Amino acid sequence: MSRREETKADGEAVGRVVGLPSLTGLRWTAALMVFLYHVYIVEYFGGRAQGLVGAAFGVGNTGVSFFFVLSGFVLAWSAARTPTGWGVVRFWRRRFARVYPLHLVTAAAALVLVWLLGAGEKPAAGPVAANLGLVQAWVARVPYFQGLNPVSWSLAAEAFFYLFFPLFLWPLRRLGWRASAGAAAVCLTAVVALPAWMELSGLPDGAIWANMFFPLYRLPEFVLGIALAELVRAGRWRGPGLSVALALTMAGYFLSGQADYAYRAAACTVVGYAALIAAAAQADLRGEPSPWRGRLSVKLGEVSFAFYMVHILVIRAGESLFGGHPKLGLWGGLLATAAVFCVSLALAWALHVWVELPGRRLLLRSRRRGTPSAS
């Protein structure tokens, strides 16, 4: 992760390229959390081993909340100027080129798995069109928000965030760090208060779409990331360092496993995740030690999007070939998990090298000169 930096007279950084490799490494950690959550859901393990896996990774899907906060942070950090005019169009073009090639290929792979292996139900035209249009998370029906490649619902939320990102960033840049601090406080309050409101309003726990997949519900997490980036950019972040932030993250994560369903998506973990992202960025800026800055961590972070998008398809293919919910016990479960992990990682590397990067270059290629766009 990097951004352009200039210096104003008051010392605020607004735009030289400053790398934040720890944030790239953290992306891999979040993707791995989601993978292990799905290992728990498909029950490779049985008995006591399954209980232990559930205790450790039963709320690993909160990694998606981490992605949303991180996405807002990285986009704001990378924006030397607030996109305006044609800059907004260029921003949207870059984001489309970043996510759509991989989404399209994995959606096609999901269809192939359905038709050739019977991996999942055959989707109707409506859910397929919604998925390809990245609007599937707006429809409160399982064949839509969990259709084709189930994890792609988060891309629908991200597409919504990208659409309004310039509108979110502009007032924070105009009004200064105090506005960012206020926005961060409001967003944190919203993430915690919304599930409480849902419980008080009598919505059943089974209404998973409303408090897990609905993009508008997840918006405060993204805006929180923007506000955090602006506070760090202005040198006004006064949160804890990496050690304390990691402790807060772990405490919130395990609290989430004990909480009512409505609070599990983000409410218990958002404080820790926000603190960890800001603390990791600060550690990189100051040259302080960070466990996510190593070469391997960064490289895994670079393929994390592809890993996130492909792993559930590998799991589905395995279920169609060997049966679902096998409950293999400890050693069988470990073997199955290792096999799915290795296949997913190998495919992620291939997709990153042969789909994600070439697709991005192709979509950003200048029409006039046939060279990659500088935007």
| Cα separation, 285 vs 231, whole angstroms | 13
Residue type, 228: L
Assess contact for 172 and 226: CB atoms under 8 A. yes
Beta-bridge partner residues of 19:
2
Angle subtended at Cα 42 by Cα 57 and Cα 150, rounded to the nearest 5 degrees: 90
Residue type, 195: P
| Cα separation, 270 vs 249, whole angstroms | 8
* Structure tokens belonging to residue 361: 């270059």
Cα-Cα-Cα-Cα dihedral of 189, 190, 196, 198, to 10°? 170
Residue 86: φ, ψ to 5°:
-65, -20
Taking the chain, what is the end-to-end CA distance rounded to the nearest angstrom? Answer: 16
What is the pLDDT, as a whole number, of residue 45? 95
Beta-bridge partner residues of 7:
13
Assess contact for 283 and 22: CB atoms under 8 A. yes
Burial string for 338-357 (b: 16+ CB within 10 Å, else e) reads eebbebbbebbbebbeebbe
What is the pLDDT, as a whole number, of residue 201? 73
Handedness of CA 282, 284, 287, 290 (dihedral sign): positive
| Cα separation, 181 vs 161, whole angstroms | 20
Assess contact for 224 and 185: CB atoms under 8 A. no
Helix or strand run (H / E) with residue 2? strand 2-3
Enter the DSSP assignment of 148. S
Residue type, 76: A
| Cα separation, 155 vs 152, whole angstroms | 5
Per-residue pLDDT for the chain (375 aa), expressed as one digit of tens each?
544 444 343 334 444 436 799 999 999 999 999 999 999 999 999 999 999 999 999 999 999 999 999 999 999 999 988 888 889 999 999 999 999 999 999 999 999 999 888 766 788 999 999 999 999 999 999 999 998 999 999 999 999 999 999 999 999 999 999 999 999 999 999 999 998 887 777 666 546 788 899 999 999 999 999 999 999 999 999 999 999 999 999 999 999 999 988 899 999 999 999 999 999 999 999 999 999 999 999 999 999 999 999 999 999 999 888 888 899 989 999 999 999 999 999 999 999 999 999 999 999 986 545 545 433
Strands (E), 59-151: none
Total residue length of the chain: 375
**Tokens 């070469």 belong to which residue?**
295
| Cα separation, 350 vs 356, whole angstroms | 9
Q: How far is CA 214 from the centre of its chain?
A: 15
| Cα separation, 75 vs 70, whole angstroms | 9
